[in-house]
Structure 1
Amino acid sequence: MYRTQNIKAYLGIRYAHAARFSPPDIELPPWKGIFNATTFASSCWQQARPTMNVQLEKVLDIISGKNINEPRIKKYEENCLHLNVFVPAGPPEVDGYAVVVWIHSGNFSMGSPYDIEPFQLVFKQKVIVVTFSYRLNIFGFFSTDDGEAQGNFGLMDQSAALYWVKKNINYFGGDENRITLMGHDAGAVSTALHMTSGEWSKGAFHKAIIMSGNPLSSLRLPHEFNDDLDKISNIFGCARRPTSIFIQCLKRVDAKIISENLPSIQWGPIVDSGLSNTSYPFIENQPEALFRSGTYHKVPVIVGITDMEDVLTILKEYISLELSPEDLTNFFSDIALNDVYKLRGSNQWCTNFPIISDAISFMYSDKNNADQMTINTNLINAHTEKSYITPLEMFVDIVSMHQNVYSYIFKFRSKSIRPDLPSWIGVPKYFDQIFVWGIPYVNNIIEWNSTDKKMADIIMTLWANFAKTSNPTKSNVYVKWSTISPPNYSYIIIDERFNTGYFADNQKVQFWKNLYPKILNFATECCNSTNAGITKLIPYTMNIRLCFYINMYIYSFYMYIF
C-alpha cells in the first residue's frame, strides 16, 4: 500500500475441523514445513445470494474491494474453517496490537470473510483484524428436536475461531487481552449471542461492537424446524424417522447437491438447551431473558444501526415508485397480522384486528401530507423504529447497568453515491461499512471526495480507539460521545455534525416499547373471547368491556404524548 508502506496478510489458516452436523474439533495436527498463507481458502457452502436492489449490490461490491472488470471466482468446500490475520507493518505497542475479530453478515445462510476489505483500518489505525469462515445454512444450523443434532454448529465454529485467536494472536504481535468481537447483521446477532454463550466464549473477547443487528431478536425453538425437516427429507429421499437414520442419509449426500437444492428455510441460531449430553448448550434461553437475568459476559459495547436499515430490501425495485396512503395502511396491517400470528400461533382472522393496525396508523399516517416522500418515509420509519431502534433502546437499557455502552445511529450518506437513490432515502444497511473499513481511500470504482475520506478517518479512529482503550474518543478525534445512562439514554448521530440524540425523545419508540405490546395482548384476548364463542362460555359483555378498556387506554396514551 502506498508503494513503500504495507501490511501483512496471513490467509487461509485452518483453525478447526468439523464433521457434518457435529461440533468443531480444535485439535488439529501441525502442518509440515512452511504453510502457504498467501491466498484465501474456499468459502463455506451456501446458496446463491438472492436478487437484490441494484444499488445494494453495488455497495456490497464496493465494500469487498471487488473490481467490476475482474470478477472474483468463489470456490466452496465443506471443510471450510479457515481464518485470515491482517497485521500492521512496524513494531507493535508494548503489550501488542489491539485485535478486532470480524464476523461477517449474510443471515446465517451466506457470506464469507472476504466480503470486506480491512486493509485501511489495519494500516491507518495499527490494529490487527482477523476474519474467518464458519458453517452456514443447513451445515451450520441443522437441528432436530430429539437431540440427535444440537444445532448452532456455526456459532460453535465462531467460538473455535475466537479460541484460536486467543491462543495464537501473540505470535502475530497481537495482545491476547485486547480482543474486540465485531459483527454486522447476522454477525451482530452472533456477537450478542457470544455475550450470552456461557462457557463457549467465556474470556475469549473483551469488547463487542454490534452493528445493524437486533441483539434481543427472538430465536427459533427446535420443534419449529420439524416442517422444514420434512421438506428436506422429501427433497433428498431420506427417511424422516428415525432421526438417526435421517441424519446418516443426509451425511451421504454431496455438499454441493445439498446447497443447490435446499428449500427456502430460515436458518440460524436456536435455543438448544437440553439437546446434547456431550456439549454445553450455546443458547440456554431467549437472548432477552438472558440479558435481563444478567447471565452474560459483561464487556464494554458499541451498538448501533443505520437510520433506514432495510429500505432497499423492503422496497427493492419499488424505491422510485409513488406509494399511496392505501399502501401505507396495508403495510401497517401486515405488521399487525404478523404480530398476531406470532402471539397466537394462528393466522385465523381476528375480529379486533383493526385496533392494532389503527394504532400503528395513528402514529405514522400524516393525513395532511400524502406526498410520496412522506408516505415512503413513514413506512420505513415504522419498520426501523419497531425492528431496530426499540430493541436497541431495550438492549442498552439492560447492558448499561453493568458496563459502558456507546450507542449510535448512522445518518451520513456519501454524496458520491447519492445520485443513484431517491433523495428521501437515508442510510441503508451496509452503507456505514464503507467508512468503518476506510473504503474511500482504496476503492477506485467511485470517485470519493474529501468529505468521504474525512468521515472514514473519524469512524476508523472511533472504532480503533474503542478496540484499544474501550473509549472511542480517547485520542486523535474531536467528537463527544458519552456512555449510555438513564433516564434519557443518549446516542451519537453519525453525520457531518456528530450531535447527540436521546432515545427518550422519540415518542414512537415509546409507543412500540410500552403501549404496542399491551394493545397486541388486549386485542388478541378480545379475539380469543370472541372466537371461542360458546365453547369457552365467555360472556359477550365481558368482551365488549375489555375492548372498551383497550380503546380508552389508547386514547389516554395519545393524549399523553400529544
Structure 2
Amino acid sequence: MWSTNLFFVLLTYFHLNLLYVVVSSVDAPFIHIPGNGFISGTYLKMFRTQNIKAYLGIRYAHAARFSPPDVELPPWKGIFNATSFAPSCWQAPQAASESPQLDKVLEIISGGMSSEASERKYDENCLNLNVFVPDGLPEVDGYAVIVWIHSGNFSAGSPYDIEPFQMVFKQKVIVVTFSYRLNIFGFFSTDDGEAQGNYGLMDQSAALYWVKKNINYFGGDENRITLMGHDAGAVSAALHMTSGEWSKGAFHKVIIMSGNPLTYVRMPHEYNADLDRIAIIFGCARRPTSMLVQCLRRVDPKIITENLPLVNWGPIVDYGLSNTSYPFIENQPEILFRNGAFHNVPVIIGITDMEEVLTIFKDYISSELTADDLSNFFNDMAMGDIQKTTGSNEWCMNFPLIADAIAFMYSGQTSDEKLTVNTNVINAHTEKFYITPIQMFIDILSKHQTIYTYNFKFRSPSLIVDLPSWVGVPKYFDQIFVWGIPYMNNVVEWKSTDKKIADIVMTLWANFAKTSNPTKSNVYIKWNTVEPPKYSVLLIDENFNSEYLSNNHRVMFWNNLYPKLLQFASECCNSTISAATYPITPTIFLYISMLFICIQI
C-alpha cells in the first residue's frame, strides 16, 4: 500500500527566473494524524541548500452549499498525497487592477503564481489548507505558528497568493494558508434566517480549529498560534476576535495588516435588492426564500460564478438568523469591542502610508488634480456620510457644512508641508478610513492588552520606479518584505537595503509570533507598545523611528469633532425647518470654534 506513494517524479519549474525545485521522494516525511491517517509531504528547495517541508491541499472540513462547515471528516484511504495545491474556491477570474504597478507587485508576492490564474482549477468542495514547516528539529515546545488569511475583498483570493518560503526558512516558524468559501458561496444570506450567511468566516474558524488540533503533529506549538491577515483577511482576523464561541481559544495573537478592525458590517436586509436580481438571473422564485435557496443549490457553481451580478459580498450581522448554530457576528464590531465582547490577545496592527492610492487614482496616477477635483472629493465624502447617518439618499442642504470642515482641515499647510492636491486627497482617505479607526481600536484594546502599531513607509526604489515622487507606499507593497521576497527572485533588481528591510520585518513579525514581543531577539529596533494619549507608532523605513498619532491634528478631527458635526448636520436635514433658513445656534458656533482650536493643536 505504501509503495505507490513512496516514488514520485521530480517536478521542476521556474518562479520568476529562479530555479525552484519541488521534490517528492523517499525522503519526504510522513505525518500521522490520528483519526484521519497518514499524509506524505514534499520538500521545497532553493539554491540547493535551502529547503522547507510542505504539506499541501489537506482537507480540513466539508461544506454543503449555504451551510456551515462540517469538521467531522472520514479517515483517508491509504496515504494522503499532500504534494500539490488543491483547487481554489469558486470565484470570477481576477481582472487587471487597472494599475500595472499593483499587478506587478501581486505577481512578485505570489512567486509568479498569479500569472497562471487562467490555468487555476476551481472546486466548490474547496476547504483545504497548506502547512509549510521548517526543516530540522523544532524547539522543545514546537514551532510558533502563523495562520494566514488571504485578501481579496471576500470575493476572490487564494492561499497561494503569497509565497511563505523565506519566512519559514529564515525565521523557523510554521506558516499555514487555507481556502475559504468566497462571494455568494461564502456570504449568501437571507433576512429571514433561511440562509445564515458568514459561511466563509465559519470556514476560517474550522481551519483554525484544525490547526489547533493537529499542528503539534507537524512540530508546531498549539499554544502559539498567530492569526495574520491582510485587507479582507485583516478584517476577518479582527472579526475572529469578536466571534464568541466560534474561534474561542483557537489563536493567541493577531496581526492586522491594511484592514479596518472596526469596519461596518452589513445587515441582512441590505442584500434584499441583490437577491431580487439574483433570483431573476437564475430563474428562481424570490419568495419564499426557502425556494430561492433550494433553487440556487441546484445551479452548477460554474454557471453561478460566470453569471453572478456585481455584489459587495462580505460579513453580516447574523444574530438571530439560526436556531442551530451560534451567530458569528452578534453586533457591529465597534460595539462588540467597546462592550468587551472580544478574545483578549496581543495585537500588531498597521498600514502602509498611502493604502488606496493606486485604486483611487487608477489611470491618473501621473496627473495632478485640480482644486475643483479636491472640492468634489470632499463633497462626495460629506454627502455619503450624511446619507449613511440619516438613512436617506435624499439631497441634504447641510452637507456643505461637512465638506467645508474637511476642506478646512486639509487646506492649512505649514511652510515645510507643501502638499499637493493629490496628497491631500490620499491623506484624507487614509486618515479617515484607516488611521482613525485604528486609533479608536487602540483606545479600546490598550486598556486590556499589549498593542503594537506601525506605518509602513519604506519606499523601495526597486518597486516604485514607475510611480511619481509624491506616491508613498501603496497597499500590498509591504508584503514584499513581510514574506522576504527580495531573497526569492531576481526579476526585480533588489538592492541590499531591500533585503535588510525584509530581514528586519520578518524578524519583528516572527518574534511576535514566538514571544508576543516583536523586538525580543535578533533585531535592534525600539518598538514601544501603544498607550493613549500619545499613541506611539513605529515608522518602518530605513531609520525605524517612532512618531505619535497625537501629533496629527487631522486624526483628532476625524475622531472627535467630525462625528459631532455630522450628527448636527444630519439633525438639520431631518428637521422640518428648511436648511436654508435653519437658525444659527450657539451649538454651531461651538463646533466652528472647536474646528479652529483643533487646527492649532
TM-score tier by shorter-chain length is over 0.9
For 2:216, the equivalent position in structure 1 comes to: 170
Deviation per CA, 1:520-561: give whole Å up to 9, x if none. Answer: 11011112225679xxxxxx98x3134x63244223431353
Distance 2:148 2:413 in 1: 45
Does residue 1:495 correspond to 2:541, yes or no? yes
Helix, strand or coil for the counterpart of 1:176?
A: strand
Distance 1:254 1:374 in 2: 51
Q: Which amino acid aligns with 1:446?
A: V
The CA deviation at 1:50 is: 3.9
Deviation per CA, 1:189-232: give whole Å up to 9, x if none. Answer: 00000000000000000000000000001100011111111010
Does residue 1:559 correspond to 2:597, yes or no? yes
Q: Which amino acid aligns with 2:47?
A: Y
Relative to the length of structure 2, the TM-score reads: 0.90
> Does the 8 Å CA contact 1:222/1:270 hold for their aligned counterparts?
yes
Unaligned runs of 5+ in 2: 1-45
Deviation per CA, 1:393-451: give whole Å up to 9, x if none. Answer: 11011111111000001101211122111110001000000000000000222110100
Match of 1:34 among 71, 79, 84: 79
For 1:536, the equivalent position in structure 2 comes to: none
Structure 1 segment 74-473 matched on structure 2, within 5 A: 74-365=120-411, 374-473=420-519
**Cα distance, 1:531–1:259 mapped onto 2, change above 3 Å:** farther
Helix, strand or coil for the counterpart of 1:209?
A: strand
Q: Which amino acid aligns with 1:19?
A: A
> Does the 8 Å CA contact 1:60/1:430 hold for their aligned counterparts?
yes
> Does the 8 Å CA contact 1:324/1:372 hold for their aligned counterparts?
no
Distance 1:87 1:426 in 2: 35
**Cα distance, 1:511–1:367 mapped onto 2, change above 3 Å:** closer
Helix, strand or coil for the counterpart of 2:119?
A: coil
Match of 2:93 among 36, 39, 48: 48
> Does the 8 Å CA contact 2:107/2:115 hold for their aligned counterparts?
no
Helix, strand or coil for the counterpart of 1:239?
A: coil
Helix, strand or coil for the counterpart of 2:378?
A: helix
For 1:550, the equivalent position in structure 2 comes to: 588
Helix, strand or coil for the counterpart of 2:191?
A: coil
The CA deviation at 1:341 is: 1.1
For 2:9, the equivalent position in structure 1 comes to: none
Helix, strand or coil for the counterpart of 1:418?
A: coil
CA RMSD of aligned residues (A): 1.7
The CA deviation at 1:118 is: 0.2
Deviation per CA, 1:256-306: give whole Å up to 9, x if none. Answer: 111111111110000000000000000111000010011100000000011
> Does the 8 Å CA contact 2:556/2:598 hold for their aligned counterparts?
no
**Cα distance, 1:282–1:293 mapped onto 2, change above 3 Å:** same
Helix, strand or coil for the counterpart of 1:44?
A: coil
Distance 1:329 1:348 in 2: 20
**Cα distance, 1:68–1:130 mapped onto 2, change above 3 Å:** closer
> Does the 8 Å CA contact 1:322/1:372 hold for their aligned counterparts?
no
Helix, strand or coil for the counterpart of 1:303?
A: strand
For 2:58, the equivalent position in structure 1 comes to: 13
Distance 1:244 1:2 in 2: 57
Distance 2:238 2:361 in 1: 28
Does residue 1:484 correspond to 2:522, yes or no? no
**Cα distance, 1:514–1:368 mapped onto 2, change above 3 Å:** closer
Q: Which amino acid aligns with 1:101?
A: V
> Does the 8 Å CA contact 1:67/1:445 hold for their aligned counterparts?
no
The CA deviation at 1:113 is: 0.1
Q: Which amino acid aligns with 2:72?
A: E
**Cα distance, 1:69–1:203 mapped onto 2, change above 3 Å:** closer
Deviation per CA, 1:450-473: give whole Å up to 9, x if none. Answer: 000000000000000000000000
Helix, strand or coil for the counterpart of 1:281?
A: coil
> Does the 8 Å CA contact 2:93/2:118 hold for their aligned counterparts?
no
> Does the 8 Å CA contact 2:106/2:114 hold for their aligned counterparts?
no
Higher mean alpha-carbon deviation, 336-345 vs 471-480, is at 336-345
Distance 1:70 1:155 in 2: 27
Q: Which has the higher helix share?
A: 1
> Does the 8 Å CA contact 2:114/2:161 hold for their aligned counterparts?
no
Q: Which amino acid aligns with 1:133?
A: S
> Does the 8 Å CA contact 1:45/1:76 hold for their aligned counterparts?
yes
Q: Which amino acid aligns with 1:441?
A: Y
Distance 2:228 2:413 in 1: 42
Deviation per CA, 1:362-414: give whole Å up to 9, x if none. Answer: 01125899x99611000000000000000011101111111100000110121
**Cα distance, 1:182–1:70 mapped onto 2, change above 3 Å:** closer
Relative to the length of structure 1, the TM-score reads: 0.96
> Does the 8 Å CA contact 1:301/1:406 hold for their aligned counterparts?
yes
**Cα distance, 1:224–1:69 mapped onto 2, change above 3 Å:** closer
Q: Which amino acid aligns with 1:73?
A: E
> Does the 8 Å CA contact 2:338/2:444 hold for their aligned counterparts?
yes
Distance 2:500 2:282 in 1: 53
Helix, strand or coil for the counterpart of 1:43?
A: coil
Distance 2:198 2:274 in 1: 16
Distance 2:414 2:533 in 1: 33
Distance 2:521 2:384 in 1: 46
Unaligned runs of 5+ in 1: 534-539
The CA deviation at 1:18 is: 0.2
Q: Which amino acid aligns with 2:51?
A: N
Q: Which amino acid aligns with 1:277?
A: N
Deviation per CA, 1:480-501: give whole Å up to 9, x if none. Answer: 0011112211110111111111
**Cα distance, 1:255–1:47 mapped onto 2, change above 3 Å:** same
Q: Which amino acid aligns with 2:106?
A: L
The percent of aligned pairs where both chains have the same amino acid is 73
> Does the 8 Å CA contact 2:537/2:546 hold for their aligned counterparts?
yes
Distance 1:103 1:275 in 2: 25
> Does the 8 Å CA contact 1:351/1:530 hold for their aligned counterparts?
no
